[in-house]
Amino acid sequence: MSASQRPLPRLAQVLGYAGLIPFIALAAMTFAWSPADQAMATFALRAYAVTIVSFLGAIHWGLAMRQPQANTVLLWWGITPSLVAWVSLLVAPTAGSLILAATLWLCFVVDRRVYPQFGLQAWLGMRLVLTTVASASCVIASGLL
């Protein structure tokens, strides 16, 4: 069985889906509390999304390090999501939340191109679900829904 056909490790699935709990809980809290509490929940969600986006970029550094000659495109892309995510914390909450939602999707689109080159396409199904829920949570936190 090739790496692309092998099922994902159970722990990776559990941790990946558990990582959605803060997104879902904080998005729900943006509806439930006072305006001050809503602002805090929105900020907490954005801060969590920044860490996740940074993690998604860092995966590309790990892939580049597996190669004898470091792939400069992977290295440059690896820092891009974290820089965009950082900027999302410097702008208004609505814009920042939408930037993070878009960045999550951009990471997924890039990964759809890169992962197959490393035999990692089996991860894309889970990534699609994670990206959908995480980005939807960011849109909810933006207050536009």
Binned at pLDDT 50, 70 and 90, residue 31 comes out as confident
Domain enclosing residue 97, as ranges: 40-142
What's the whole-number mean pLDDT along residues 80-90? 98
Q: Is residue 30 part of a domain?
A: no
Place of tokens 């208004």: 92
Report the amino acid identity of residue 48.
Answer: Y
Task: Confirm whether 34 is domain-assigned.
Answer: no
Specify the amino acid at residue 58.
A
16 in a structural domain: no
Q: Could you tell me if residue 127 is inside a domain?
A: yes
In a domain, 20, yes or no: no
Q: Indicate if the pLDDT at residue 19 is higher than 60.
A: yes
Is the predicted pLDDT of residue 30 greater than 60, yes or no?
Answer: yes
Q: Look at residue 8 and tell me if it is in a domain.
A: no
Mean pLDDT across the stretch 100-124? 97
Give the Å distances, CA to CA, from 145 to 98, 140, 142: 12, 6, 8
The rounded radius of gyration (Å) of the Cα atoms in the chain is 16
Given this model, what pLDDT does residue 59 score? 97
Is the distance from CB of 19 to CB of 135 less than 8 angstroms?
Answer: no
Number of domains in the chain: 1
Residue 18 forms part of a structural domain: no
Q: How many other C-beta atoms lie within 10 A of the C-beta of residue 46?
A: 21
